Amino acid sequence: MLITGASRGLGLALARHYAGAGWRVIACTRADTPPPDENGLEWRRLDVASPASIAELAAGLAGTPLDLVINNAGIRGDVDGLATLDADDFIEVMRVNALAPLLVARALLPNLRAGGGQIIANISSRAGSIAEGMIGDDDGDYAYRCSKAALNMATAKLALDLKPDCITVLALHPGWVRTDMGGIEAEIPVSDSAAALQGLIDRATLADSGSFQAFDGRPIAW
Ligand X SMILES: NC(=O)c1ccc[n+]([C@@H]2O[C@H](COP(=O)([O-])OP(=O)(O)OC[C@H]3O[C@@H](n4cnc5c(N)ncnc54)[C@H](OP(=O)(O)O)[C@@H]3O)[C@@H](O)[C@H]2O)c1
Quote the CA–CA distance of 148 and 173 in Å, as a whole number. Answer: 10
Of 144, 176, 212, 215, the active-site residue reads 144
3-class SS of residue 138: coil
CB of 22 to ligand X, least distance (A): 23
Phi/psi for 171 (5° steps) reads: -110, 125
For residue 113, the SS3 value is helix
- Segment 34 to 53, residues that bind ligand X, using CB under 6 A: 46-49
Residue ranges in 55-74 that form contacts with ligand X under rule CB under 6 A: 72-74
Q: Is 144 annotated as catalytic? A: yes
Site for ligand X in 3-22 (CB under 6 A): 4-5, 7-11
Tell me the HSE value of 86 on the side-chain side, using a 13 A CA sphere: 10
Kindly identify the residues of this chain, within the stretch 202-221, that bind ligand X according to CB under 6 A. Answer: none
Among 24, 30, 44, 113, binds ligand X (CB under 6 A): 30
Among 31, 114, 131, 166, binds ligand X (CB under 6 A): 31
Any contact of residue 156 with ligand X (CB under 6 A)? no
Q: For residues 124 and 211, is the Cβ–Cβ distance under 8 A? A: no
Contact 47, 92 (CB under 8 A): no
DSSP bridge pairs for 71: 122
Task: In whole angstroms, give the CA distance from residue 169 to residue 144.
Answer: 21
Q: Which is nearer to ligand X, 182 or 210 (CB)?
A: 182
Query: Could you give the C-alpha distances from 89 to 85, 93, 153, in angstroms and in order?
Result: 8, 6, 21
Contact region with ligand X (CB under 6 A), list: 102-110, 129-137, 176-184, 208-216: 176-184
Contact between 111 and 64 (Cβ < 8 Å): yes
Chosen residue from 109, 181, 195, 206 binding ligand X by CB under 6 A = 181
Among 174, 194, 197, 220, binds ligand X (CB under 6 A): 174
Determine whether 12 is exposed, middle or buried from the number of CB atoms within 10 Å of its CB (0-12, 13-18, 19+). Answer: buried
Interface residues with ligand X (CB under 6 A) are: 4-5, 7-11, 30-31, 46-49, 72-75, 96, 123, 125, 173-174, 176-177, 179-182, 186
Catalytic residues: 144
